[in-house]
Amino acid sequence: MLRLIILLGMLLALAACGTPTPTPRTMPAEITGVEVEVLESQPVQVVAFVSGGLGDGCTSLGPISQARSGSTIELTVNATHSGAEACTMIYQTFEERIPLEGEFAPGQYTLIVNGSAHSFTV
């Protein structure tokens, strides 16, 4: 019985000294291209085609959010890194089709993707 208690104590001590759990982190994704397409539909729909890159094998495309203020639409395209210390150095590319929210009356609009502005006309 004493041996079992000592063994359990040693196992608990070893488990406490294990490697720390990686902490994922989110940051803006690298954007390499933005195209805007105004669809011939009623009501008018607008789609942003966003392409970019992810720096290594531990990084994946993260959440995409959008906000609108008048004729300015802002997209935030994030990347999420797993937090791992060792990652493959494989540059990954992505292409996303993002429908823009809201109504689009005829006029000039500005789409801002991760800080880069792109104008389009409806």
pTM attached to this predicted model? 0.79
In whole angstroms, give the CA distance from residue 117 to residue 50: 13
What average pLDDT does the structure give for the chain? 89
pLDDT tens string 81-92: 999 989 999 999
Q: Where are the domains of the chain?
A: 24-121
Predicted local confidence at residue 19, as pLDDT? 62
Structure token digits, residue 114: 């991760």
pLDDT tens string 66-108: 999 999 999 999 999 999 989 999 999 999 999 999 999 999 9
Structure token digits, residue 99: 């429908």
